[in-house]
Chain A
Amino acid sequence: MLDDRYDLAFRLYPYERSADQDAATPVRHPVVVLGGGPVGVAMALDLGLRGVPVVLLDDHEGVGQGSRAICFAKRTLEICDRWGAALPMVEKGVVWNLGKVFHEDRKVYEFNLLPEEGHRFPAFINLPQPWFERYLVERIRAAQAQGAPIEIRGRNQVTSVEVDEDHARLEVETPEGPYSLEADWLIGCDGAGSPLRKRMGLDFEGRVFEDNFLIADIRMTADFPTERWFWFEPPFKSSGASCLLHRQPDDIWRVDFQIGWDIDREKELREENVRARLDAMLGEGVDYEIVWTSIYRFQCRRMRRFRHGPVIFAGDSAHQVSPFGARGANSGIQDVDNLGWKLAAVLQGAAPEALLESYDSERRQAADENILNSSRSTDFITPKSQISHVFRNAVLDLAEAFPFARPLVNSGRLSLPCTYDGSPLNGADALPGGPARTRPGSPCPDARLGQGFLLGRLGQGVTLLTLDCALPEGALPEGVTHLALSSDDDASGALAARYLGEAAQAVYLIRPDQHVAARWAAPEAEAIRVACDRLFGREMT
């Protein structure tokens, strides 16, 4: 009944009997999260820290093996930092800035991510997914100790779901037999193959790319530098259309071979065949140990809607992209960031249920952006016709000789958070001369403030940020935190460049997920109140 689908890297939540299993009638919970992957665990943590009681069900007792998601982007680390979980990730992870692009046996060019100054976190870290999940679960344990109402139930497999207008009823199998429970809100974080999505018979639309990736984690003490190496049409034997080499912590390296669509999975995963590929790539006499291998096939598609009554989907269950650009787990964490405060506000009576519609529209917009970018990368890396192959190689030939062609080389456009242009939650953009990067809908860029950073000063709730000006009397809405800053607080000038631009002063209304809701040069109290109502969806009813 309860079969293991994979081996565990860390056993983090062993099965324990819950009081619900002995209840005479099914217990109703405000929120149940399905799936203990990075997105589900993050969802439980975000809600729990907001005081929303949440139960997470996972059919295993911990985290599966393999580096899998591996690249965690700056925005993800910023979100994790708000939860108090980012520092161990950065400490464990590998930071890289230099990337090299090869075509056959030649280096086409190299690039430096050249991270912009004045950010708390690097553009990317390489961290095996089990470690990412482990740090989130450790943070949950610490939060539980301080009273956060989070419960993780390992070895709890959902066997049926009945969705009503205002709740869902679940049948759950455990090592000690089945039980039932109910949820006002059910959040599906159960991955690309989402059993919940299938059970509800929901659509999943888009392109399926018929290509397979053989991925391997290998341990070796080679003196390859800490760089991202990407090959188009690698010269080593049977390596496929592309190849990626990435460094991880603990002397482990990640290799991705794109091996085509028509393959014998079992044969390709045999150790001697994996070794043949690796030997050809690494050269003679390199000693390594294979730690983990897998083959996966990717898709670029999403659900038509992410919310279906009391059931909400987040992460891979709602949308999937190609691996190029690290937009999978990173976008899932942004889903959580977007949904957590909204669901908490609805449950705590601060917002109407209509606010949740904006989760659906904003995160569909983000998914479309991610799918667009990753489809374009895929079309460049794996040309679909002879002429697209000709143009692709023309770009690579030109990029080797001339800088102008380098921006056309697309080995994955690295994950950036979506700006929610046109969102119904966006208020006034009344800051003449204000920078485009902080227009309403934008994720707030970080800036250094003395010993700390701007994003660290934004709390869990709504913030009204004043820059080089005062608030009018009585203009601070209830429940909103005022953060008064001066452009002198950041001697580098980055704060002023990112939030003032040409303007002399500014007021920003910032959402709990650190996106800009509205901005003004000198707002009246009424304008702030209107924007605050709008960001909570109180105008929608």
Chain B
Amino acid sequence: MSEFVTDPNLADPDGFYADLLAAHEGLSEEESAAFNARLILVLANQIGAPETLRAALAAAAEAGARG
């Protein structure tokens, strides 16, 4: 199984970030929440491997807890 990646892996970080914001442009809060949910599910299917997904859930929780 692939290892969980915590080092930089995006080829174009600024470009991706801009695309992400652009996708939310003009959406209401509710529409944005729905978009995010769809995006998470699409990405989860790309990853597939249960242990990687569990590691991603844990990483997201951990980063939030530090704040």
Contacts and interface: CB of A to CB of B under 8 A. Distances in A.
A405 B45 contact: yes
Contacts of B42: 398, 404
A398 B34 CA distance: 11
Interface in B13-44: 33-34, 37-38, 40-42
A408 B33 contact: no
Q: Chain B's interface: helix, strand, loop or mixed, by majority? A: helix
B33 A398 contact: no
A202 interface: no
Interface residues of B, number: 8
B38 A397 contact: yes
A404 B45 contact: yes
A390 B33 contact: yes
B37 A390 contact: yes
A107 to B, nearest CB: 19
B34 A390 contact: yes
Contacts of A398: 38, 41-42
Contacts of B41: 391, 394-395, 398, 405, 408
A393 interface: yes
Given A405-B41, A408-B41, 13 more contacts: A387-B33, A390-B34, A390-B37, A391-B37, A391-B40, A394-B37, A394-B38, A394-B40, A395-B41, A397-B38, A404-B42, A404-B45, A405-B45
A397 B34 CA distance: 10
A235 to B, nearest CB: 19
A393 B34 contact: yes
A408 B41 CA distance: 10
A394 B38 CA distance: 5
Interface string B38-59: 1011100100000000000000
Contacts of B33: 387, 390
A408 to B, nearest CB: 7
B5 to A, nearest CB: 22
Nearest to A392: B37
17 contacts: A387-B33, A390-B33, A390-B34, A390-B37, A391-B37, A391-B40, A391-B41, A393-B34, A393-B37, A394-B34, A394-B37, A394-B38, A394-B40, A395-B41, A397-B34, A404-B45, A405-B45
A387 B40 CA distance: 13
B49 to A, nearest CB: 15
Most buried by B among A391, A395, A397: A391
A408 B45 CA distance: 11
A387 to B, nearest CB: 8
A477 B38 CA distance: 59
B51 to A, nearest CB: 19
A391 B35 CA distance: 10
The 3 closest A-B pairs by CB, nearest first: A394-B37, A394-B38, A404-B45
A402 to B, nearest CB: 8
A397 to B, nearest CB: 6
